[in-house]
Amino acid sequence: MDVTTDVGAPWLIAGLGNPGPEYAMNRHNVGFMVADLLAERIGGKFKRAGKAQAQVVEGRIGPPGPASRRVILAKPMSYMNLSGGPVNALREFYKVPLGQVVAVHDELDIDYGILRLKLGGGDNGHNGLKSMTKAMGADYHRVRFGIGRPPGRMQVADFVLKDFSSAERKELDYLVDRATDSVECLVTEGLERTQSTYNS
């Protein structure tokens, strides 16, 4: 199901993660990685966003002309479990409909590197989504980047806050690139077409 989009309103794309260099390559920070690549593609640099506890880049996605879409890229600087406050503050400031908010995040219940895009749904124990849903409701888009389950008896919290393994890193650039493509497709082509292309 595609939501009716408001062509005059921007899209808000929130890459979820934790701020600080010690978290940069963690599995939990793949949303930041996608946001960084999107910023690079649209030629922008992240800057502190006024009173919102986030860094933002404003730009356009899509071909030049009427088909391009205005986007606000955001990285909440509040730590993962408090992502909802900064994202909702930006949503209200930029007057973004909830159906044009996108959360890019790691997903334990999907194998490494698999993408799944959807609209709405539960948080599946993900603290960033839990915080966003509490702040503004559940009817936003999710780009779910599979990281797989922890091996053996490793705790989930330890697993998501560890860096990608050396084996995973061999594919990581390609997979982040593909996830970034899927965000661009979602904004310009809609959910159904993006799901048929990227929900492998």
Nearest to 142 by CA among 118, 162, 125: 118
pTM: 0.95
Residues in CB range of 71: below 8 A, 6 or more apart: 10, 11, 12, 13, 38, 42, 58, 59, 60, 61, 187
141 annotated active-site: no
Q: What does the pLDDT look like over 41-95, one tens digit per residue?
A: 999 999 998 777 999 999 999 888 887 999 999 999 999 999 999 999 999 999 9
Which residue of the set 28, 105, 126, 141 is catalytic?
28
Q: What does the pLDDT look like over 15-41, one tens digit per residue?
A: 999 999 999 999 999 999 999 999 999
Question: How long a stretch of residues is the chain?
Answer: 200
What is the rounded CA–CA span in Å between residue 150 and residue 164? 12
What is the rounded CA–CA span in Å between residue 35 and residue 57? 9
Cβ-contact 71, 42 below 8 angstroms = yes
Residue 154, pLDDT > 70, answer: yes
Structure tokens, 158: 């330890």
